[in-house]
Amino acid sequence: MPYDLKELAAISGQPGLYRLVRPARHGVLVESLDAKATRSLAPASNKVSLLSEIGIYAQDSDETVSLSDVFDRIHQHYEATLPVSAKSPETELSGFLAEVMPEYDRQRVYTSDIKKLVSWYGIVSQHVPYAAAAEAEPTTDEPLSTGGVIGEIDEAPTPSGNPEVTK
């Protein structure tokens, strides 16, 4: 995935996004994704939602598209500069998401969800590096497996057949 969202979370009752630092006795120690990068404790009573586990509903009722895939699509279309903001009108926001993800479910994805998506993408694109997807096919002539290659390099067997036996 181009954006690594494994350690990023949204915390109920707190604005912005956070990087998970480590578990603590009464919650999770987090670091804000902003210029200050302040550390605080997210108590166990708050809901912590990992971005890597969030998806956008697709028109197929059983399907969702992961947030990292949606972020990748946004990056492919716009890079870091979005044509909309969280304060844009509803028609602009829904048009933006329809352009990036035409298969999104217009009944189950609300305007507030699109506003969150736009806001989160802005934060992630500023504070998390974008890693281009690796090529599907290898570019070198090296074998993908060592099957057969190791056997060609084997040394002469020891007299007893056991390489650990020395005379």
Domain ranges of the chain: 8-127
pLDDT averaged over consecutive 10-residue blocks of the chain (167 residues)?
79 87 86 85 86 90 88 87 89 92 92 92 82 51 48 52 59
Rounded Cα distance between 74 and 80, Å, is 9
E-strand spans in the chain? 8-11, 18-24, 27-32, 39-43, 48-50, 55-57, 64-66
Rounded Cα distance between 87 and 75, Å, is 20
Q: What is the pLDDT at residue 85?
A: 87
| H or E element at residue 42 | strand 39-43
| H or E element at residue 64 | strand 64-66
Dihedral sign from CA coordinates of 115, 104, 80, 39: positive
DSSP code of 77? Answer: H
Q: What is the pLDDT at residue 161?
A: 60
Q: What is the pLDDT at residue 155?
A: 53
Q: What is the pLDDT at residue 139?
A: 47
Rounded Cα distance between 148 and 48, Å, is 49
Distances (CA, A) of 108 to 17, 104, 126: 23, 9, 28
Q: What is the pLDDT at residue 38?
A: 87
Instruction: Assess contact for 3 and 127: CB atoms under 8 A.
Output: no
User: In the chain, how many H helices and how many E strands?
Assistant: 4, 7
DSSP code of 59? Answer: S
CATH code 1.10.10.1650 for 8-127: yes
Dihedral sign from CA coordinates of 106, 108, 109, 112: positive
Dihedrals φ, ψ of 53, to 5°?
-105, 5
